[in-house]
Every structure is written in C-alpha cells, then in structure tokens.
C-alpha cells in the first residue's frame, strides 16, 4: 500500500467546497486506474498494489458541480518488497512479518562462450511482478552428463551472466538457475539443453609434438 498526500487547491480556484478527490494511478508511467477518495482530506491510502512495483499518481479535486483538472503526474513511486504473514503457535498468537522469496524463475540458461574447462552462461531476468523484492544474486546448479549429482554455486551478483569454471574437457553439462532476494531463493528454471565443453587444447598440442618427435626420430 501507499499513502499519498497533496496540497489543497488554491482557494481562488476551488469555485465551491471541495467534497472529495479523484486519484488516477497505474504501473510505471500510466494512470489507467481511477478511484474516488469520498473525502475532502488531502491524504489517502491506496491498497491492493503489487509489491516492489513502480506506480505513478495524479489527483484532481471535486466540488458539487464536477471534477477539476488533474495535477501533473507524480514521480515514479515504488512499493516495498513483499511481506507475508506467518503465524506461530504459542500461549498467544504471535504474528511476524517476513520477506517473501521470488515467486518466479529466470529464463532457461544458454551458453555464450564454451571452452575446455569453463562455460559462460546467460539467462533472462525474473519477471518484475514475481521478484517480490530486489534480486541480489543467482544460484546456479549444474550436472555432468546424466549424473544426478548436482553442483551448486552462488554468483554473489545480480548480473544475468556467469562464468562457470572447473569443468571437465569434452564433457556434457546441463545448467539451471534461480534468483535470490533478501528473503530467500526462488524456484529454479528448467535445465538447459546439453552443453559440451571443448576438447583440451593442451592435450592435443602435446600429442602433436609427440607425433612429430617420432617422425624425426625415425
């Protein structure tokens, strides 16, 4: 929710008693939702907004004749991160507000650079309506071939790309990723298709040198 306040219309421009105010608002820079405060108070609390979402507001006064012109739109105002209500049983009910983890997952990761022992992967961000707060880092899980053992790393960054190192040459891997905010980790994406690391160039070079040595020796 957001509580708005505004200055009153100049008394010379009211043309009567202000009976209420009309508020227009919407996500981003749009103002496609209209409500009547049904009050002459120059403050109003708007509920039912989405968490961690940007909104813009404009307000107009109403007298016994009609509505006046709207104010200029406000600057963009962002709602707070989502807090869900948890109930813990004790001798008396205790209510504790806690942050909520992301409810959506990032896009399936793809490889942009593949080498023998590392792969750079990239993914799309979680939809803004499902972040429930600021994404602070991403968790990457990957498996080797059909092996069900999962390796997990924390990127410690909100960048949507990461270099995964320490892999085996010429080996198939699959990757998936999840976003984390100040509350916890959200759901993981689906696993990527198989991504194969390159052959080990050092091994190939040594084999080639050894082959030349045998030719010269003969």
DSSP the chain: -EEEE-PPPPGGG-SS---EEEEEEEETT---EEEE--SS-SEEEE-SPPTT-EEEEEEEEE-SS-B-PPPPPPPPEEPPPPEEEEEE-SSS-EEEEEE---SS--PPPEEEEE-SS-EEEE-PPPPGGG-SS---EEEEEEEETT----EEEE--S--SEEEE-SPPTT-EEEEEEEEE-SS-B-PPPPPPPPEEPPP-HHHHHHHHHHHHHHHHH-
Domains delineated in the chain? 2-78 (2.60.40.10), 110-202 (2.60.40.10)
Name the nearest CA neighbour of 196 among 116, 130, 141: 116
Q: Is the pLDDT of residue 212 over 60?
A: no
Assign 15 a pLDDT band (cuts: 50, 70, 90).
very high
Separation between Cα atoms, residue 145 and residue 143, nearest integer Å = 6
Q: Does the structure show a pLDDT above 70 at 179?
A: yes
User: What is the chain's Cα-based Rg?
Assistant: 29
Please report, for residues 29, 84, 87, the alpha-carbon distance to residue 93 in angstroms, rounded to integers and kept in the order given: 41, 16, 7
The rounded distance, in Å, linking the Cα atoms of 140 and 133 is 19
Contact residues for 92 (Cβ-Cβ < 8 A; gap 6+): none
pLDDT tens-place string over residues 125-176: 999 889 888 999 999 999 998 777 899 999 999 999 999 999 999 999 999 9
pLDDT at 78: 85
When pLDDT is cut at 50, 70 and 90, the band that residue 200 belongs to is confident
- Output the six-digit token pair for 22: 């009309």
Query: In terms of DSSP bridges, do strands 54-62 and 151-154 run parallel, antiparallel, or are they unpaired?
Result: unpaired
pLDDT at 52: 82
Average pLDDT, the chain: 84
pTM, rounded to two decimals: 0.58
CA end-to-end span of the chain, whole Å?
84
């Amino acid at each position: 929710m957001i509580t708005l306040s505004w200055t009153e219309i100049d008394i010379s421009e009211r043309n009567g008693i202000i009976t209420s105010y009309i508020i227009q608002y919407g996500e981003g820079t749009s103002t496609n939702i209209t409500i009547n405060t049904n009050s002459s108070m120059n403050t109003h609390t708007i509920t039912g907004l989405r968490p961690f979402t940007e909104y813009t507001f404009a307000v107009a006064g109403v007298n016994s004749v009609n509505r006046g012109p709207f104010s200029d739109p406000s600057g963009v105002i962002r709602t707070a991160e989502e807090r869900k209500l948890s109930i813990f049983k004790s001798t008396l009910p205790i209510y504790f507000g806690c942050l909520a983890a992301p409810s959506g997952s990032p896009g399936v990761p793809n490889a942009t650079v593949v080498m023998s022992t590392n792969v750079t992967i990239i993914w799309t961000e979680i939809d803004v309506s499902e972040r429930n707060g600021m994404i602070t880092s991403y968790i990457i899980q990957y498996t080797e071939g059909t092996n069900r053992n999962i390796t997990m790393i924390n990127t410690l960054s909100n960048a949507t790309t990461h270099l995964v190192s320490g892999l085996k040459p010429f080996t198939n891997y699959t990757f998936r990723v999840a976003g984390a905010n100040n509350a916890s980790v959200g759901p993981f994406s689906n696993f990527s298709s198989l991504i194969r690391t390159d052959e080990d160039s050092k091994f190939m070079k040594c084999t080639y040198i050894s082959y030349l040595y045998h030719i010269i020796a003969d």
